[in-house]
Amino acid sequence: MTLPNSPEHAFLDLGSETLEIPFVPASEGGAGLAINHLRPKTGYVVYDPGFSSVAPCKSSITYLDGENGILRYRGYPIEQIAEHLSFMEVSYLFIHDALPTKEQLDVFTNMVRDNMMLPENMRKFFDAIPKNAPPMAILSSGIEMMTAYRRREKEPIDDPDFIPSAVYRLLAEAPTIAAWSHKTSVDEPLVYPDGRLDYASNILHMLTWTPINNYEVDPVMARALDVLLILHGDHEQNCSTSTVRMVASSRADLHACISSGINSLWGSLHGGANQAVIEMLQTILDNDRDIGRVLSRARDRNDPFRLMGFGHRVYKTYDPRARIIKQAAHDVLATYMPNDPLLELAMELEEAALQDDYFQSHNLYPNVDFYSGLIYRAMGLPAKMFTVMFAIGRLPGWIAQWREANLDPESRIVRPRQVYVGPAKRDIIPIEERG
């Protein structure tokens, strides 16, 4: 490909022909090259497994500069957001495209809090789930089940001035489904939301309270959870968000899109990594704490083992969220789990990996999942709940992306092509003649 010779176009030299490719300007970061006419005009398709160089949409929600470790929600730096905003403000920012006034925030917060109770009938759904069921499976099916209660077929979801009530209800009901997925999994009585508590406190209350422990929420822990939710809020076109937008492209229901996103998040290379990190740390601890051996396994191309919580498709430097979470882990664990052997091991492992030639040459740094599980563990949550907590944090981002996709006049149903490598045309041999 030759370099652009005008500000508006690049040219793709295909030997027999040259294709003019318009630029799609970006307000910051790399511009796009509009190659949607490549196949109709030339018959070629773009081969890019993992979509490393594909932008299926324009978006104004999150800006991410992986080379320089920059993350912004609607232009606001993540460091300022984590320090100054609450998760409810961030949710408002995602859904309404602007920071709320005090009055707007009050209305929004009250609306969410007042809708946290699930339809009582939903208890039967939880009754049908066996003990020890994976909470992520319960969460995704519970959210999907809410379609039965919240679907409004005729709502004008492509009207920018209209926000479906299902959006607020989903934000309100998801933590209750998440907490009940935990209670169902550990076979404890379901706990109802408490209208006196804020969002994060309510989550801790519903997850932890039993008639025996009469748990009272610690505000320090609630703020720690609020910050974790904020840091998970949105992250551009990652695997689960792309899933949400892809499902949305067929005009599927909001709950169906979010439920699909949750399932996509579950994998250990994505949001499931926070669970995998704690399990990895525990295994290392139980096996002589041999960090050298762990790093050598991670370097070995013939060994499928990877250092969980390290590496990222976009970040080629320290993930800014990991930096904030590492500090929060120190603060929380100093109070609740002083001298936690897993935190000490995590820091040792990080330091050793950052000094290692392989990790340096591959630009592998801790990502958002490396330290977050340590905080969830200090909250008393089992490892299989960590990704559920991630999903609750990601919810407003997914909703904003779902909305943006529905409002985008250029959006089309997602339908990628392939490079076919199967057999050429052949005829069926009758069964009695097959050798």
CA 192 distance to own-chain centroid: 26
CA distance 183 to 131: 9
Q: How far is the CB of 365 from ligand ACO (least distance, A)?
A: 10
Which is nearer to ligand ACO, 64 or 308 (by Cβ)?
308
Cα gap 139→264, rounded to integer Å: 13
Lateral strand order in the sheet of 62-65: 62-65, 70-73, 76-77
- The least distance separating ligand ACO from the CB of residue 368, rounded to whole angstroms, comes to 5
CB nearer to ligand ACO: give 183 or 323. Answer: 323
Spatial distance between the Cα atoms of 339 and 321, rounded to a whole number of angstroms: 23
CA distance 244 to 237: 10
Q: Where along the sequence are the contacts to ligand ACO (CB under 6 A)? A: 50, 238, 269-271, 273, 298, 306-313, 362, 364, 367-369
DSSP structure string for 354-397: HH-HHHHHTT--B-THHHHHHHHHHTT--GGGHHHHHHHHHHHH
SS3 64: strand
Distance CA 388, CA 185 (A): 12
Q: Shortest distance, CB of residue 110 to ligand ACO, whole angstroms?
A: 31
Q: How far is the CB of 239 from ligand ACO (least distance, A)?
A: 7
CB 295 to ligand ACO: min, Å: 9
**230 HSE (CA, 13 A, CB side):** 31
CB of 238 vs ligand ACO, minimal distance in Å: 6
Note whether 32 and 53 are within 8 A (CB): no
Q: Which two structure tokens, joined as six digits, stand for 389? A: 């907590």
- Kindly tell me which of 58 and 306 has the beta carbon lying closer to ligand ACO: 306
Question: Which strands sit side by side in the sheet containing 32-33, from one edge to the other?
Answer: 9-13, 18-24, 32-33
Of the chain, the end-to-end C-alpha distance in Å amounts to: 49
CB of residue 144 vs ligand ACO: minimum separation in angstroms?
Answer: 22
Q: What Å distances lie between residue 106 and 82, 130, 402, CA to CA? A: 20, 39, 24
Q: From 240, 233, 238, 242, select the one nearest 313 (Cα to Cα).
A: 238
Identity of the residue, 266 or 310, whose beta carbon is nearer to ligand ACO in the bound complex: 310
Question: Whose Cβ is closer to ligand ACO: residue 242's or residue 411's?
Answer: 242
Q: Return the ∠ at Cα 51 (arms to 47 and 56), rounded to 5°.
A: 105
Residues taking part in catalysis: 312, 369
Instruction: Decide whether 190 or 314 has the Cβ nearer to ligand ACO.
Output: 314
In the complex with ligand ACO, which residue's Cβ is closer, 289 or 297? 297
Residue type, position 129, single letter: I
